[in-house]
Amino acid sequence: MSTPDYWPATSRPGYDAEAVTEFAQRAPRPAGDAPAPESATAPAPTPAPTPATEVKVVATAPVVAPEPASDTPTVLPPPPAAVGLLPRQMGVAELPATWGWRGKVRKLTRGAVAPQASAAEVRHRQATVAVRRSFTRPVTVMFANPKGGAGKTPATLLAGATFGSIRGGYVVAWDNNETRGTLGVRGLMPDQGLTVWDLLGHLDRFERVDARAGELAAYLRAQGEARFDVLASDESAENMAQIGVGEFERLRAVLSRFYKLLLIDTGNNIRATNWQAAADAADLLVVCSSYRRDVAFSAAWMLDHLESTGRADLARRAVTVLSASEPQVPPKARAEIVEHFTGRTRAVVEIPYDPTIASGERIDFSTVSRSTRDAWLYACAAIADGLAEVNHTRRTAP
């Protein structure tokens, strides 16, 4: 797969790659994948931890999508005679600079001098265009790792905030934990905090043809300027019921009628029927992990499970998001983990440490650092690219 122009360079200044062997031995790749690297002849000294402050995206091998289904809607071009009269749309690289000294010069001269945008600004614009991409049907993204503390919930919220603020809405983040998750706890809380069980109790109202989005909004939690909604999981200390496959399918059918993009936060039990239903429904998987070996091993084990249960294409098309949970990232562990998931998923995106996220407090997107927001822009661009590949090849939404 060719690397999109908007993805940042993958080299880390001052970082020397090491031989990658230990993590691969812990979680071997399936047969037919690239062989493990050769062992080093002598152990290298352990380098000092490297601060996690940069956005990294690693492209991997191309994913060959199946032929489009015959019933895929076709978008017809304008009549040939009229093409020449269409207004020309400037590309993002042609637009004048707005960042840095280039932008200041343009502003001071009131546009009389309009320097070309820097490469960094162009990459940022290209990623934004990718995130705004349109799809021909509602699409579903699953955030998963069966290990607790892998960063699934913050990842779901930050992806929702990024997609929602850039796309302008129609995005829902759904806590699909079979019992109790923390998506509603980490997101912004409105005056009335209803949960999935409140919605299930009145779901028949929204399965009718005359259902209205304004009424559905009462059961979700609006996330302010981030322009997405959260469907929280159960928060009752007394309820013993669990979400199963039937509840999942009904909820997804309703949400797909009112939202264009469904982001599903999952629990830690891959044997739960609603986890399996989410995997079957997902157009794209986001593998969430930190740089801890136990967390990364759990993510690799999940990919093994998907490959062994007939979902190898979902695993291969996945985007891996590695979030730094500490200010310092161990370089050796980082190299091995990045190498492993680069060989197994379509892209690896690294998110820098952010104390606002690590604190465990509610996540207000307006208070998140600029480096974290930029990292999630590139992560969501990679997700949108992956969704574009399957947009015309997966079954239509319920």
Average pLDDT, the chain: 80
Please say if the pLDDT value at position 5 is more than 70.
no
Residue type (1 letter), 106 = R
Q: Per residue in 26-40, pLDDT tens?
A: 444 444 444 444 444
Please check whether residue 63 is in contact with residue 379, taking contact to mean a CB–CB distance below 8 angstroms. no
Q: pLDDT tens digit string along 313-369?
A: 999 999 999 999 999 999 999 999 999 999 999 999 999 999 999 998 999 998 999
Q: Indicate the pLDDT class of residue 92, thresholds 50, 70 and 90.
A: low
Taking Cα atoms as reference points, which of 274, 281, 285 lies closest to residue 398?
A: 281
Q: Taking a C-beta distance cutoff of 8 angstroms, is the pair 348, 55 a contact?
A: no
Query: How far is it, in rounded angstroms, from Cα 371 to Cα 55?
Result: 8
In the chain, what are the domains?
Answer: 22-35+47-61+128-390 (3.40.50.300)
- Percent of the chain scored above 70 by pLDDT? 71
Write down the pTM of the prediction: 0.76
Higher pLDDT, 361 or 93: 361
148 within 8 A of 268, measured Cβ to Cβ? yes
- Tokens representing 213? 């989005």
pLDDT at 245: 92
pLDDT of residue 81: 66
Whether 265 shows a pLDDT value over 90: the answer reads yes
CA distance 62 to 350: 20
Residue 263: closest CA among 242, 249, 278, 245? 278
User: What are 265's strand-pairing partners?
Assistant: 143, 175
Q: How sure is the predictor about 179, in pLDDT bands with cuts at 50, 70 and 90?
A: confident
173 alpha carbon, distance to own chain's centre: 11
* Listed range (27-36, 42-51, 92-101, 246-255) with the worst mean pLDDT: 27-36
Mean pLDDT, range 294-298, rounded to an integer: 96
pLDDT of residue 76: 59
pLDDT bin (cut points 50, 70, 90) of residue 65 is very low
pLDDT, tens digit (0-9, with 9 covering 90-100), for 198-230 = 999 999 999 998 888 889 999 999 898 999 999
State how far the Cα of 29 lies from the Cα of 393, in Å rounded to an integer.
27
Contact residues for 150 (Cβ-Cβ < 8 A; gap 6+): 288, 289, 290, 295, 298, 299
Residue 174 has pLDDT above 70, yes or no: yes
Q: Does residue 48 register a pLDDT over 80?
A: no
pLDDT at 246 over 90: yes
Q: Is the pLDDT of residue 72 over 70?
A: no
pLDDT at 104: 76
Query: In which band, very low, low, confident or very high, does the pLDDT at 162 lie, cut at 50, 70 and 90?
Result: very high
Mean pLDDT of all residues in 259-282: 95
